[in-house]
Amino acid sequence: MPRNSPLRLLLIAGARPNFMKVAPVLAALRSGRAEKRVETRLVHTGQHYDEGMSKVFFEELELPQPDVHLEVGSGTHSVQTALVLTRLEPVIVEWRPDIVVVVGDVNSTIAGALAAAKLNVRVAHVEAGLRSFDRTMPEEINRLLTDQIAQWLFVTEPSGVENLRREGRPEEAIHLVGNVMIDSLRRFLPAAQKKTVLPRLGLATSSGEARPYVLATLHRPSNVDAPESLEPVLGGLAEAGREAAVVLPVHPRTAERLERFGLGHYFSADWNEHGRGVKLLPPLGYLEFLQLQSRAAAVVTDSGGVQEETTALGVPCFTVRDSTERPITISQGTNTLVGSDMDAMIRGVREALAGRGKRGRVPDLWDGNAAERIAAVLLREG
């Protein structure tokens, strides 16, 4: 039967990766025929809260200002999760949404799902089913628990469907819709290419073309929380810096560890006489980072989202982890797991710099329309 009132959807986001995922979903729900059939509110939990990790993303992704800001701030996993739970509960009670939509795998994701479930509100999980099978990763626990709570499971790749079936989730709850991260990438790549980050960093030739460089990102606790794990990775980047310029936009977690462990000597203030070396950068906005990814000869990372973005961009990616929850980036895309084997990473970077890096192909349904498919399912079934 047709609904007599608009479908109320409360969307939860809190950390930098969430913003790229929630933006296209919110846009799809607030446009076209959907706009008259739904009411939406956006909650920013404040898990990432500073300008470099939050504010600039709202501006560049054309996200409206959140309707509610929980301002939970930094803290341990338990503290963040508890604060989101306690501060989100009265929001749900007051507004009474029909569905709470959570994205990704961060603390805000599981806390939003739990808060809704305890109030008997249905949950939709965007980016469901991904599994690294490494339960030492806090994100893996968040994924597993959120997917047991959610009534709608929106999946980015076929492995996610298989995982959810194996875990006993009902077939009617599982929807293979594609990747909302790639929705954002496709929409904003033209704007990203107009940025001037390359000449500003000395990574462009006089004619404006990119000269060969490597982009790196590091933030996972397993890589940065102890000097015995962080220093070998930095040594690998330094070795890559003998081959080409290496840029490392530094996550706040990583910046604090670098200072605490006294590892600043791996970086230089400027490129050497051959235009090489390793430079630290402050956190970048979405558009500047996207431009850096798209023009890089290679990317070295421990980020899940970067594995997907480099696959969509056709840029060789070397992941400093022993497992990935996004296996399609390896089987079809440009990703290679190198774990802690920095020799393998350096060999791969050399191949990429020589133009022989892995290119792969863009997976099916990574076409920029995932959010529209999600909106259609929620409108049909909500």
Strands 152-155 and 174-176: parallel
Class of domain 189-353 (CATH, top level): alpha beta
pLDDT in tens, the chain (382 residues): 456 789 999 999 988 888 999 999 999 999 877 778 999 999 999 865 555 556 788 889 999 899 999 988 778 889 999 999 999 999 999 999 999 999 999 999 999 999 999 999 999 999 999 999 999 999 999 999 999 999 999 999 999 999 999 999 999 999 999 999 999 999 999 999 999 999 999 999 888 889 999 999 999 999 999 999 999 999 999 999 999 999 999 988 889 999 999 999 999 989 999 999 999 999 899 999 999 999 999 999 999 999 999 999 999 999 999 999 999 999 999 999 999 999 999 999 999 999 999 999 999 999 999 999 999 999 999 9
Nearest-angstrom CA–CA distance, 235 and 241:
10
- Report helix angle 107-118 to 138-149, nearest 10: 30
Q: Within a 10 A sphere around the Cβ of 249, how many other Cβ atoms?
A: 20
| Domains 7-179+366-381 and 189-353 fall in the same CATH topology | yes
* Token code pair at residue 347: 């060999």
β-strand partners of 215: 247, 299
The question of whether 251 is a catalytic residue gets the answer: no
Dump the DSSP string for 143-161: HHHHHHH-SEEEESSHHHH
At the fourth CATH level, the homologous superfamily of domain 7-179+366-381 is Glycogen Phosphorylase B; (3.40.50.2000)
Three-state DSSP at 1 gives coil
Nearest-angstrom CA–CA distance, 2 and 268:
63
Domain ranges of the chain: 7-179+366-381, 189-353
Catalytic residue among 77, 175, 219, 265: 219
Q: Within a 10 A sphere around the Cβ of 113, how many other Cβ atoms?
A: 25
Please, what sign has the CA dihedral across residues 276, 277, 279, 284?
Answer: positive
